Structure 1
Amino acid sequence: MPTRSSSILRLAAAVSLLPAAGLHAQVQHQHHPPQSSGEYAKVLEDPSRDAWQKPHEVVMALELKATETVADIGAGSGYFSRRFANHAGKVYAVDIDKDLLALAGKNAPANLSTILAEPDDPKLPAGGIDTVFICDVLHHISDRAAYYGKLRSALKPGGRIVIVDFFKKELPVGPPPAMKLSDDEVKKEFAAAGFRLVRSLDILPHQYFLVFQAR
């Protein structure tokens, strides 16, 4: 059974993918999440998400190498992880929900492995990751400063952290602005954690796309 904290985080992430109508009512009921992992997976995998998430464009922008190891943090049912596995050498689908990870790993390519993480620890192998990818999840991590340190420890020399998250304004999809982190906030947090911004792309209608490397 998912823990109470993982259920709350799961619902918060699901809310971030739903249309804006009704968001506030859903958020008010986080302590009694109505969705099972299977129902949440349907939200994550809804074909209508592709229109604004543009997964193909995101994957192509990463320019993944066949020798690369990718960690998809908050992978859920594997929406991005499966796509990464077609281009990278090794992919870790990382999540705190074992039921979602079971879906991510079901019939997955041989180079995709799942990692059951903790809310405050991605449990990645030290010095083993080329690209850490975090999409629509960063604003749900509570102690991000400590979390960034753990991500840094997992990076290979020259490794990168890619952040895709919602602009901090009213949008037709995503959570209300109060739940979001602006791109400037993210840049400041990573700078304080010892990272530098090396790339910023404007390819998504509702989200920023930032790439960081350790200084």
Structure 2
Amino acid sequence: MGFHTFPVDRADALDDPARYRFCSREELLEMLDVAADAVVADLGSGTGFYTDDVAPFVGAVYGVDVQSEMHDVHRENGVSENVELVAANVDSLPFDDDELDGAYSTMTHHEYASDETMAELARVLRPGGRVVTVDWSATGTGEDGPDPDERFGPEDVREQFEAAGFTVERVHDRPETLAVVARR
């Protein structure tokens, strides 16, 4: 896989509303399905496009990104009161065991997914906590997003979560993307 990061000099592309054709706010919230007081993490939050969409519907959101420059862009755009920006790798999250009610990633799973990150997600999600992954699918055409060689297929993602002890509730393979919902 690619295990790369999105170029900061193209950060404005992350705020393009055309991204909703791959995952709408409503679809993400429905899959995440957490309480109004939930604490969740946006993994690979970038400029906060989906962080800002989820924030009004939960108690707190950690916007996690390995690139602090992405957080700088998010700050320029404004950060909701219940959002805390965290510069960290997904394989070493600065959260307590069982701290999160949920986590999600949109178009970033291919950038961080490994056995270590799956184990780390299992550590920080409380029992019953849900994780949602929407990402570019290896079965896609590659017309949008990274080259298909840098992507995982839906069954690969299912296997990653199951190997880390998650129960996979849903797997959707769509024309260019996949969506996986798993519960700890």
Coarse TM-score class (shorter-chain normalised) = 0.7 to 0.9
Deviation at 1:185, TM superposition (A): 0.7
Match of 2:108 in 1: 137
Distance 1:60 1:211, change over 3 A: closer
Q: Secondary structure at the match of 2:22?
A: helix
User: Is 2:59 the counterpart of 1:89?
Assistant: yes
Counterparts of residues 50-61 of structure 1 (less than 5 Å): 50-61=20-31
Deviation at 1:201, TM superposition (A): 4.8
Counterparts of residues 107-122 of structure 1 (less than 5 Å): 107-118=78-89, 120-122=91-93
Counterparts of residues 1-215 of structure 1 (less than 5 Å): 9-10=4-5, 13=6, 35=7, 37=8, 39-106=9-76, 107-118=78-89, 120-141=91-112, 144-169=114-139, 170-201=141-172, 205-214=175-184
Q: Secondary structure at the match of 2:61?
A: strand
Mapped to 2, the partners of 1:63 and 1:118 lie a distance apart of 25
Identity of aligned residues (%): 26
TM-score between the two structures when normalised by the length of structure 1: 0.75
AA aligned to 1:57 is: E
Give the aligned CA root-mean-square deviation in angstroms.
2.1
AA aligned to 2:54 is: F
- Asked whether the 8 Å contact 1:52–1:205 carries over to 2, the reply is no
AA aligned to 1:120 is: D
- Runs (5+) with no aligned partner, structure 2: none
Q: Per-residue CA shift, 1:44-73, capped at 9, x if unaligned?
A: 012332333323432344334211111000
- Runs (5+) with no aligned partner, structure 1: 1-7, 14-34
Distance 1:85 1:119, change over 3 A: closer
Mapped to 1, the partners of 2:84 and 2:105 lie a distance apart of 17
- Asked whether the 8 Å contact 2:42–2:51 carries over to 1, the reply is yes
Mapped to 1, the partners of 2:134 and 2:19 lie a distance apart of 14
Q: Larger radius of gyration, structure 1 or 2?
A: 1
Moved more, 74-83 or 48-57: 48-57
Mapped to 1, the partners of 2:90 and 2:148 lie a distance apart of 22
Q: Secondary structure at the match of 1:126?
A: coil
Higher relative contact order (CA 8 A, sep 6+): 2
